[in-house]
Amino acid sequence: MHHPAYPSATYVPPHRLRLAAAWAALLLAGSAGAAQGTIKLNQVGFLPAAQKLAVVAGDAQARFEVVDAASGKQVFEGSLAGAGTWDASGERVRLADFSALRAPGNYRLRVAGLPESAPFAIKPGVYRELDIAALRNYTLNRSGIALTPAVAGPYARPLAHPDTGVLVHASAASKARPAGTVLSSPKGWYDAGDYNKYIVNSGISTYTLLAAYEHFPEWFAKLPLNLPESGNGLPDLLNETLWNLDWMLTMQDPNDGGVYHKLTNKSFDGMVMPEKATAPRYVVQKTTAATLDFAAVMAAASRVLAPFDSQQPGRSARYLAAAESAWRWAEANPKVLYAQPADIQTGAYGDGSVDDEFAWAAAELLISTGKAAYRTHAFAHAGAAAKGTEPGWADVGMLGWISLAQHGKRLPAGVDAAPVRKQLLANGDRLVERWRASPYRVTMGSKDFVWGSSSVILNQAMMLVAAYRVEPKPDYLDAAQSALDYVLGRNGPGMSFVTGFGQRSPMHPHHRPSEADGIEAPVPGMLVGGPNPGQQDAKDCPAPYPSKLPALSYLDHVCSYASNEIAINWNAPLVYVAAAVESLQR
């Protein structure tokens, strides 16, 4: 199917630029107080039948109205709920519920004495452009490709990081591949604002996209991405995912099945375009975590690709063989943890515990091979991890639960996924309880505001979707909707955390191409890390954060890698949750 070279809705019109810039200035100049007295809501909008909530900061008023954005005419009126204080932001807030308004249109919320809310839409398919733009970022973050104008529009660029002559670092040396051996390890996605490629973070990111396709294939069948591969008989989501799977495969040492932890420069590049970043690249240390994450992703990919064997002959079988040989390496090397070598400064993605990685890999292998040998490991985590609520790059056990619940019927005879389904419901109930108790009506508590907090709430939403798919209780879906609302504007700073979407969105993400490409607006469709009171980047920032409070500790400045970077593992749950909310809508 043919379609415009670049989805026009993802361009940022100049008036939006000025507005966003004005707000960024306000945020920088002001204090946490800038957030008071404002109406905060999802600035993209809602599906007609969805739950629709807004937060009104301050507690002076009792009524709200929804008005048509163009004419200003009232279309809905309601009472604000009783006030509560959100400890994460220190704000006193009241909730507005306008779920009953279902008529498609463009609207604003109005409360006497306050500035009107940002505009938002109510319409079918309201997250379609967002999902496309979020996925297109993987394309724009491809390593080892020249992006043509036909594919990348204004973000076209020459070939960068071919990675066909990568050096084996001393930490990764083996008899067959001594230090300095030259390997070819092309393709893959840049991890984030930096140009390095990390297997651990590729693990959860690639899985999340594969799961999105496994769970919502009809949605992605109709989501064309205008890729170089489009039209080859595969859905574009899978085409994009193959770009990273191809790279991951090259990170396995065929001599023993072990997988290198990362492919990286020795230190981070300057803020330059990728083709200007030409420092030597290394594969660094094989680790148990990387090898198991690799095994899990390859096992999942082998079953997702199986129906496409005529288009991609042998791929599915190759993935499964790679997964099994990785598993054997991990069994023989069960606790090789990452230790950052003295001469390497880039991201560590170090993880002190690999029980959850064993469980996840075993779950995917159990499903994809049908071999009962993986059973014990696969179910180990579901029994033990009742404390968990959401996955993350270092905490992947729950990804295995998601797959086991999805593929109950594929499990070998006598193996039952019922305990996992029960755990998913208990987990969903815990999240719903928190959501209901929160004055902002979000699942996020103060301690969830860590580096990449935007992904924490979206990964919580993924677990709510998993629960909903076991048992379709409306609360699960409503709480997942609230997570999307949070990243699109119902949050402390009252802005969308996705570049180019919503009236106010980040203008200065820590993303090298956005900083260096000479285009004023950042690349659209990127989810920034979000509020993080850790402020680990303060020493590198000329401007102070506006607040130390967890939900307000966000700085829209390019210096702020701890609150304003972008990353493949943050965009992935955005892709997933937007697809889920569209696909499961009431």
Residues forming the active site: 194, 510, 556, 565
CB of 191 to ligand 9MR, least distance (A): 4
How many whole angstroms from its chain centre is CA 211? 13
Measured in whole angstroms, the distance separating CA 357 from the mean position of its chain's CA atoms is 19
Nearer to ligand 9MR, 270 or 314 (CB): 270
Q: Which is nearer to ligand 9MR, 51 or 205 (CB)?
A: 205
Of the candidates 17, 36, 147, 27, the one whose C-alpha atom is nearest the C-alpha of residue 85 is 36
Tokens of 158: 């020459």
Distance CA 432, CA 213 (A): 25
Q: Output the six-digit token pair for 484.
A: 């999307």
Closest listed residue to residue 506, CA positions, set 556, 559, 546: 556
Q: Which is nearer to ligand 9MR, 23 or 561 (CB)?
A: 561
Q: Which is nearer to ligand 9MR, 240 or 269 (CB)?
A: 269
Minimum distance from CB of 360 to ligand 9MR (Å)? 18
The alpha carbon of residue 565 and the mean position of all alpha carbons in its chain are separated, in whole angstroms, by 12
* Closer residue to ligand 9MR (CB): 309 or 540: 540
How far is Cα of residue 28 from the mean position of the Cα atoms in its chain? 26
Binding residues vs ligand 9MR (CB under 6 A):
191-194, 268, 347-349, 451-452, 540, 561, 565, 567
Nearer to ligand 9MR, 253 or 395 (CB): 395
- Structure tokens given for 123: 């319409």
Is the CB of residue 464 less than 8 Å from the CB of residue 477? Answer: yes
What one-letter code names the amino acid at 266? K
C-beta of 549: minimal distance to ligand 9MR in Å? 19
3-state secondary structure of 379: helix
Which candidate, 509, 523, 574, 568, places its Cα nearest to that of 247?
A: 568
Task: Provide the CA 417 distance to its chain's centre, in angstroms.
Answer: 27
> CA–CA separation, 278 vs 300, rounded Å?
34
Assess contact for 146 and 159: CB atoms under 8 A.
yes
| Nearer residue to ligand 9MR within complex by CB, 260 or 451 | 451
DSSP helix/strand/coil, 64 = strand
* Tokens encoding 238: 């899978």
Shortest-Cβ-distance residue relative to ligand 9MR: 347
CA 57 to chain centroid, in Å, comes to 28
- Pairing outcome for strands 282-286 and 166-168: parallel
Residue where the block lists tokens 């071919």: 162
Contact by Cβ (8 Å): 481, 474: no
